[in-house]
Homo-oligomer: A and B are copies of this chain.
Amino acid sequence: MPGPHKWRHRFQAHVTRWTVPREAILNLLMSRPSKHMSAKEIYASLYRMYPGIGLTTIYRTLDLLVRAGLINRFTSGDGQNMYEFKSEEKKEHHHHLTCIQCGKIIDYSDFVEEELEFIKKIEESLARKHNFKVLGHNIEFYGLCDKCK
């Protein structure tokens, strides 16, 4: 019997039932904004409090949350998917700086203003030129972090 929740209504636009695992997964991601986690890491975190939880449900719920627009999914260097809670604030839009050695992921939001403006310009051009409906973008820089270089 899950409880009330700030995001319950948004969730329910995509799915009918509000369940314990769904609440747990969303709460975990919300509790650590700007924390990047894999499905396995989420499973490990929740296993203590919910020993019965299944990895399958984690994957399904993450899909759901991505579709509902509450979290972001991106692919880390080693191929597995990572997830992070998506803040409501536009100003917190950010991109990633990834260390190819240790896998560390740094959020950065320098030049967001300029960047978003530039991105918008490119998107409009691409939409016109290729008759393409642009829905989003992935921008990532990679290299060696402080410790690894």
A110 within 8 A of B: yes
A17 within 8 A of B: no
Whole-angstrom CA separation of A75 from B125 in the bound complex: 24
Within 8 A of B (CB), among A112-140: 114-115, 118, 121-123, 125-126, 129-140
Do B97 and A135 touch across chains, with their CB atoms under 8 A apart? no
Do B97 and A110 touch across chains, with their CB atoms under 8 A apart? no
- A129 contacts across to B, CB distance below 8 A: 108, 110
Q: With contacts A75-B79, A111-B125 known, is A134 near B142, CB below 8 A?
A: yes
Interface residue tally of chain A, by bracket? Answer: 35 or more
In-complex Cβ contact of A141 among B75, B100, B118, B137 (8 A) = B137
Whole-angstrom CA separation of A70 from B147 in the bound complex: 29
Whole-angstrom CA separation of A135 from B98 in the bound complex: 10
Whole-angstrom CA separation of A97 from B136 in the bound complex: 10
A143 within 8 A of B: yes
A24 within 8 A of B: no
Do B132 and A136 touch across chains, with their CB atoms under 8 A apart? no
A149 within 8 A of B: yes
Whole-angstrom CA separation of A115 from B129 in the bound complex: 17
Whole-angstrom CA separation of A75 from B100 in the bound complex: 15
- A75 contacts across to B, CB distance below 8 A: 75, 79
